[in-house]
Structure 1
Amino acid sequence: MKSDWFLTEEERGNPHTRITAWTDGNAVRPLIDGKAYFAELYTAIERMERGDLLLFTDWRGDVSQRVTRNGPSIGDVLCDAARRGVRVKGLIWRSHWNALQFSAAENRRFARKIEAAGGECLRDMRVLVGGSHHQKLVVLRHPGRPELDRAYVGGIDLCHGRRDTQSHEGDPQAVEITPKYGKRPPWHDVQLELRGPVVGQVEATFRERWEDPSALSRNPLHWFQGKVEDENLDPDRLPPQLPDPPPAGSLSVQLLRTYPYRRGGYPFAPEGEFSVARGYGKAVRRARRLIYLEDQYLWSPKVASCFADALREHPELHLIAVVPRHPDRPDKLGSMPQLYGRERALAMLREAGGDRLHVFSPENAAGTPIYVHAKVCVVDDTWATTGSDNVSLRSWTHDSELTCAVLDPAGSYARDLRERLCREHLELDELPEGPIEEVFDASAKALQAWHDSGRIGPRPPGRLLPYRPPTVPRRTVTWARVVYNTIHDPDGRPRRLRREGAF
């Protein structure tokens, strides 16, 4: 039964939202890595006409990011759509200052360009202190042509650094992170193309935020700046929502979200919503054979405990995790707290699962580490989720997040997604017989041995190396713990849930 895996409306714990427990009759297509996603998005937007509706949310936007190798920028694509009469509406995180290695200036330029072309793009700072809007969605609706309706949900922002290929040589329009990833950081990510009734659910998620009557920021400096710069602080009404698109496939999809508890906060989630955490918890408790995870962070014992409990309770269960080799921040204040958080989470998982925990980090053919930005979890080749959420307390409680959990009555979607990702990391057209964790272990061991030998002889196939977390010096732990808990991985739950240790 779907309710064995999906949250019921009661289990979601948010009666104030307009989205339903789940929808049936959907088609879901994973788009692996940024080149595939940007090309698909470009094609879909180009066929939009006057009166169509384009909605998007983003964490960061760069107006100059190209959607194809020699093609237009995402800014030009969105502005051209607005000029030909497509109703373009965006919600982009206002962002912290660029001096803190964020994207306030880029997001301001992004919003201004769309507004100048006749669209609307609000800079949304309705978050907790230190928080962000991290959802990455695009919705395309076509009145009278519902067969063209679709939504995109996942981990890929409309910004520099994301349009990498599966060979992972890096986006020519690079994003600046730690030099350990080179001048063009290789970037692994996943986005979903959704068709069918679930498109209406993604649209409802956008509308709930757009129709929130509260001020876009509580910071009076932001209000003053907006007045001086003639920023759009009073959005237009959206047209009435169209009926959900007709069935397009056989898949069931549940939207899982995070909204923190915020005083006087969200009318659609006044006590917050923690369905990402609850959805993972319910699915992971059913795991018996394999949890496959790709994650940017994999932090926080409070979050990792659900995986650790499953490993303890089921001695046949294995956990494969693919994570970045290095933190993205180059400075110690940014990197050491991240390493502290991951070290603690992996220690808990290792204690619970022993050699049934398999953790890897990928590199490209040149030996440059690949930054894993994907947020994917597949449980027993049955329940699969892809979205904006990382395995961290911040993602599960503090920032806004959106992810799609998918069930397939035919039983192939989750397996196909997991195998497709495995083939990319292993550089194989077909997976060999046998437990996949053994295949991963053997491939990573062979590549590590080749490196250890001084790279003598042909490079073995595969991109994975065993992940070996560096030990955080004891003298560093004292301050790294404080920075980790307050800045990198804060807790956005209300006091009641914190006291209960629940989500």
Structure 2
Amino acid sequence: MAEPAWRDGNAVRLLENGEAYYARVFEAIERARREVLLETFILFEDEIGLALHERLIAAARRGVEVQVTVDGYGSPRFSEGFLRALAEAGVRFHVYDPRPTLLGVRLHIFRRLHRKLLVVDGECAFVGGINYSIDHVRAHGPEAKQDYAVELRGPIVADIRDFARAALRSPRDAERWRHPAQTAGDAAGPARVLFRVRDNGGHRDAIEREYRAAIRGARERIVIANAYFFPGYRFLRELLRAARRGVRVALILQGQPDEPLAQPAARTLYHTLFDAGVEVYEYCQRPFHGKVAVIDDDWATVGSSNLDPLSLSLNLEANVFVRDRDFNRELHGRLDTLMREHCTRMHADSLPMPSLFRRLIRPLVYHVIRRFPRWAGWLPAHTPRLVRVAPHADAPELPAGRTN
């Protein structure tokens, strides 16, 4: 395994929620001159998806190479008109591992492409947790998601572009990808940035290892805000050790979950977290979809990876890790405001008294989270495919989407 490649000289802009994210993404695509590389888990044919569709077509018509990849589980079936307009403009539209449903039920839930990446002209890149759908915009109402992404400029963009091109060649090329040699490039800002992916090939625990290393080195504070929190044993152990040695550890988790199992799974860990002195806050204003963290005053991460078995052991993910005090200060300020103004702090007496059954199965829960990454290898496996979609009746059926 090659050593992580931290790149100096980058500018990092924090983008909170769809309003900030889509404005910057659409502007970047409108200005594209040569190349647009886009990957996403979800692209819906709604107001946001159609706005993206319009800009991709316009870019392709003015001669820009436009490559789009969506996940075959996360994205819905697209109308023939939607696909035909892209194809006629010259957009190359790919689906990661499309598979038919069985009696309308989606069975291919494992090893999904969950990354959210965009690279434009090799000059700017976007990484985060925000999909292309109206439910990331506050005007959507109480179901609108709270989420984060970053816009990047500087030498790190070359790494992200190199990976995105590898992923277009084949899923196996993406799994074999290594950080390229550092190339000369103009500095765009003061931030050191590392781009990391997780897959089922050469980068199985790359994102988790970055988290664990930073937690081990934490001196003062750890704030993790994550939509789906049910990490493995080693991750949880490092977090508890940090709290016990006096580091302030605060978690922001879902209080209004968009998946029915998210909150009950996380809550099985609460008493263990409380015993070590970890602060737990539940965000109850609307669904929380973020995957971000800050540690001390010079480390932060933003990306697509949840801290649950699907993201840590099965899905294809991408995060950036940032060493920059100004960025850390900004992200920490946003999270601190979230905790103080929009979250409920949980305590042992906030939860229902666990039944005898629950108390008895807690050791089993620990065993499961400790062993899950190994057991995940026994789940149904297949060689993933990247399929170019054409707008005709024989195009692969894309089942209804998922929300994380």
- Give the corresponding residue for 2:137: 163
Deviation per residue, 1:355-402 (Å, 9 max, x gap): xx2222234xxxxx3211111110012110010011223212211111
Distance in 2 (CA, whole Å) between partners of 1:255 and 1:483 is 32
Please give the secondary structure, in 2, of the residue aligned with 1:130.
coil
Do the aligned residues in 2 keep the contact of 1:53 with 1:88 (CA within 8 Å)?
A: yes
Distance in 1 (CA, whole Å) between partners of 2:161 and 2:301 is 19
Distance in 1 (CA, whole Å) between partners of 2:173 and 2:221 is 45
2:322 pairs with one of 406, 421, 431: 406
Equivalent residue letter for 2:192: S
2:344 pairs with one of 439, 461, 465: 465
Distance in 1 (CA, whole Å) between partners of 2:336 and 2:31 is 34
Equivalent residue letter for 1:491: P
- Give the corresponding residue for 2:12: 28
Please give the secondary structure, in 1, of the residue aligned with 2:152.
strand
Total equivalences in the alignment: 357
Distance in 2 (CA, whole Å) between partners of 1:65 and 1:74 is 9
The alpha-carbon deviation at position 472 of structure 1 amounts to 7.5
Structure 2: 5+ residue stretches without partners: 100-107, 175-182, 378-404
Do the aligned residues in 1 keep the contact of 2:231 with 2:312 (CA within 8 Å)?
A: no
1:321 aligns with 2:240: no
1:136 aligns with 2:81: no
User: What are the residue-to-residue correspondences of 1:264-283 with 2, within 5 Å?
Assistant: 269=202, 272-283=203-214
Equivalent residue letter for 1:137: L
- Give the corresponding residue for 1:105: 77
Deviation per residue, 1:131-169 (Å, 9 max, x gap): 211110100016xxxxxx1000011011230123xxxxx
User: What are the residue-to-residue correspondences of 1:62-461 with 2, within 5 Å?
Assistant: 62-66=44-48, 73-95=51-73, 103-106=75-78, 113-125=85-97, 130-141=110-121, 149-164=123-138, 171-172=139-140, 184-212=142-170, 245-261=185-201, 269=202, 272-302=203-233, 303-312=235-244, 314=245, 316-329=246-259, 335=260, 337-353=261-277, 357-363=278-284, 369-408=285-324, 411-423=325-337, 425=338, 443=340
**Bigger shift: 319-328 or 279-288?**
319-328
Deviation per residue, 1:423-467 (Å, 9 max, x gap): 3x2xxxxxxxxxxxxxx5xx5xxxxxxxxxxxxxxxxxx222224
Distance in 2 (CA, whole Å) between partners of 1:347 and 1:109 is 52
Distance in 2 (CA, whole Å) between partners of 1:376 and 1:155 is 9
Equivalent residue letter for 1:152: F
- Give the corresponding residue for 1:4: none
Do the aligned residues in 2 keep the contact of 1:155 with 1:388 (CA within 8 Å)?
A: yes
In structure 2, the CA distance between the partners of 1:388 and 1:214, relative to structure 1 (3 Å rule), is closer
Please give the secondary structure, in 1, of the residue aligned with 2:46.
coil
Distance in 2 (CA, whole Å) between partners of 1:351 and 1:33 is 33
In structure 2, the CA distance between the partners of 1:247 and 1:478, relative to structure 1 (3 Å rule), is same
Please give the secondary structure, in 2, of the residue aligned with 1:25.
strand
The alpha-carbon deviation at position 23 of structure 1 amounts to 0.8
Distance in 2 (CA, whole Å) between partners of 1:25 and 1:246 is 8
1:44 pairs with one of 5, 16, 28: 28
Distance in 1 (CA, whole Å) between partners of 2:354 and 2:113 is 30
Distance in 1 (CA, whole Å) between partners of 2:89 and 2:117 is 21
TM-score (norm 2): 0.77
Distance in 2 (CA, whole Å) between partners of 1:340 and 1:477 is 14
Deviation per residue, 1:68-94 (Å, 9 max, x gap): xxxx61111112211222111022111
Equivalent residue letter for 1:344: T
Q: Answer 1 or 2: which has greater strand percent.
A: 2
Equivalent residue letter for 1:259: D
Do the aligned residues in 2 keep the contact of 1:298 with 1:392 (CA within 8 Å)?
A: yes
Equivalent residue letter for 2:39: T
- How big is the alpha-carbon RMSD for the aligned residues of Structure 1 and Structure 2? 3.7
Equivalent residue letter for 2:250: I
Do the aligned residues in 2 keep the contact of 1:136 with 1:388 (CA within 8 Å)?
A: yes
Equivalent residue letter for 2:336: C
Q: RCO (CA 8 Å, sep 6+): is it higher in 1 or 2?
A: 2
In structure 2, the CA distance between the partners of 1:474 and 1:114, relative to structure 1 (3 Å rule), is farther
The alpha-carbon deviation at position 29 of structure 1 amounts to 0.6
The alpha-carbon deviation at position 474 of structure 1 amounts to 6.9
In structure 2, the CA distance between the partners of 1:129 and 1:38, relative to structure 1 (3 Å rule), is closer
- Give the corresponding residue for 2:177: none
The alpha-carbon deviation at position 349 of structure 1 amounts to 1.8
Do the aligned residues in 1 keep the contact of 2:232 with 2:372 (CA within 8 Å)?
A: no
